[in-house]
Structure 1
């Protein structure tokens, strides 16, 4: 029995579609993660809760707040007293940041801040509350309460000499978020439509291809490569992207620690792409074996 003549144009079209699917699969996963984190308050708060549970973040946050609070305590001019006050502030901040109460305050503060971020990204500035510098901030009043109580207990500084501490932590400049609005709109579009486009293109590639098994294998292999490259690029670019929207008043150590947690969360989502890619390769091999068996019987 003569072998079926293959149309080179049809094979080329199937190959192009395979490449398109391989690009869309990791892009879809990244867009879905970003959309679930950026556009969904519960998703963002869930990652923020992971952030504050990280010891490196707690240490960097405690250092940031200690420096901030100590700068607001009036100096007594007595070195031993001022050193003692700093030690008390540092201990109180560290204890507060590691407490369950702080975790609850952090979660609620991030939920409130996210509403502001989302409103800025969506252009709904009428429901935005910013500080005097035009920044989105986390209000962490529980730290101020803990520090005030510890200083009063120490007796080193009189209660009426202790100021009302500002323990807000700046997150983003509103102008940076205004600039990010176009990217947010594109992200929402990709997250909504990319999965359906990828599925439609895959179906079309399977319909055009002479071997559906090879299509699935190549999609799996190339999408795994694309996912790996995207994970590597994310590790290189995430810190730069975070610094672009983070206030300079936040310590680099805190920014770096938060970036690491968010990056790990994104890469965990992308690992799903590696699993899907592997499954496609396995299914492709099975289909390829079946195809060859069918052809041998026909011959």
Structure 2
């Protein structure tokens, strides 16, 4: 009696090639899905911070403790106030004959007129007066109020493309209003300093147009990236031969992706978008604000990861045991 050998399954080159391609496809989908998920969280957080006035003002208010920003504010207010006060013009308009005589004598003897000397005398004292306000508890409220007004103008310009001619500025007048400006013996000059309005441009027309494009991009990414992430990860789990292993890989990559906001922050710090760079004040404020928002994203991401990982693991375990029962 002849024995018939039962056919055994053999791996053909074609099946091995298909299996390899399937593994590569699953890997690509997993990486794409996790990357899109992390960027979606970042985009959503940035969009929420920008569109929520209280979150924006809170983020900017924290910058009031930054010593570099404090120094910039002090220097900017001092320079602007002295420029607008126009000391030489105030002296020229004065009816005080003594001032005119002193001006002529100083100009002949020292080669400098009284206006230059008075400005050199007032500048350090005005800076010190501004610094006293900045170091006080009042400054935090003044800074928050100024940025709240700036936020309203900024959102109005971003959401209305027809307002392409706008220049976004921050009004720091209240800071000098709270400072002691009685710094010289010339009442006309002291009054001019006290009445000075300090408005610092942050975004010019071209920069505002670029920022509007970034704003629209972030909002679009916040909508579409989650959809792409869910589709990619769902397809990866569907095609995976080892669902549990793929799920664990997804969880590990999600945890690793918590560093993406820090990477974005580092990249922006090293390669700042030149199209948004204005003067020193706007550049530093913009950089610090982005860093603060991305730090908040990273911290929130680290808080969400354990919850997300637990939910993902529970779903995978439920799916795994359901499949075992069906089989």
User: TM (normalized to structure 1)?
Assistant: 0.75
Q: Look up the match of 1:109.
A: 146
Residues 214, 288 of structure 1: 8 Å contact kept? no
Q: Look up the match of 2:224.
A: 193
Which of 178, 182, 194 is the matching residue for 1:146? Answer: 178
Distance 2:243 2:314 in 1: 10
Which of 72, 76, 81 is the matching residue for 1:64? Answer: 76
Distance 1:267 1:275, change over 3 A: same
Q: Look up the match of 1:47.
A: 59
Residues 66, 89 of structure 1: 8 Å contact kept? yes
How big is the alpha-carbon RMSD for the aligned residues of Structure 1 and Structure 2? 3.9
Which of 203, 216, 239 is the matching residue for 1:208? Answer: 239
Distance 1:63 1:242, change over 3 A: farther
**Bigger Rg, structure 1 or 2:** 2
Residues 30, 269 of structure 1: 8 Å contact kept? yes
Distance 1:226 1:190, change over 3 A: same
SS of structure 1 residue aligned to 2:196: coil
Residues 210, 276 of structure 2: 8 Å contact kept? no
Residues 82, 119 of structure 2: 8 Å contact kept? no
Deviation (angstroms), 1:226: 4.3
Residues 137, 170 of structure 1: 8 Å contact kept? yes
Residues 69, 165 of structure 1: 8 Å contact kept? yes
Distance 1:44 1:184, change over 3 A: same
Matches within 5 A, 1:262-281: 262-274=290-302
Matches within 5 A, 1:252-263: 255-256=283-284, 259-263=287-291
**Residue segments in structure 1 that go unaligned for 5+ positions in a row:** none
Distance 1:246 1:97, change over 3 A: farther
- Provide the aligned length of Structure 1 versus Structure 2: 286
Deviation (angstroms), 1:24: 1.0
Residues 213, 283 of structure 1: 8 Å contact kept? no
SS of structure 2 residue aligned to 1:210: coil
Q: Look up the match of 1:157.
A: 186
Matches within 5 A, 1:1-299: 8=19, 10-73=22-85, 74-75=87-88, 77=114, 81-125=118-162, 130=166, 135-147=167-179, 150-152=180-182, 154-159=183-188, 162-163=191-192, 164-238=195-269, 240-241=271-272, 244-248=275-279, 250-251=280-281, 255-256=283-284, 259-274=287-302
User: TM (normalized to structure 2)?
Assistant: 0.70
**Residue segments in structure 2 that go unaligned for 5+ positions in a row:** 1-7, 92-113
Deviation (angstroms), 1:271: 4.2
Q: Cα deviations across residues 265-299 of structure 1 (Å, max 9, x unaligned)? A: 31331244456557777888899999999999xxx
Distance 1:212 1:274 in 2: 25
SS of structure 1 residue aligned to 2:178: helix
Q: Cα deviations across residues 154-198 of structure 1 (Å, max 9, x unaligned)? A: 453314663231311221112222133333222112113323442
Residues 237, 246 of structure 2: 8 Å contact kept? yes
Distance 1:282 1:92, change over 3 A: same
Distance 1:122 1:162 in 2: 40
Distance 1:66 1:53 in 2: 19
Distance 1:125 1:189 in 2: 20
Deviation (angstroms), 1:19: 1.3
Distance 1:119 1:178 in 2: 13
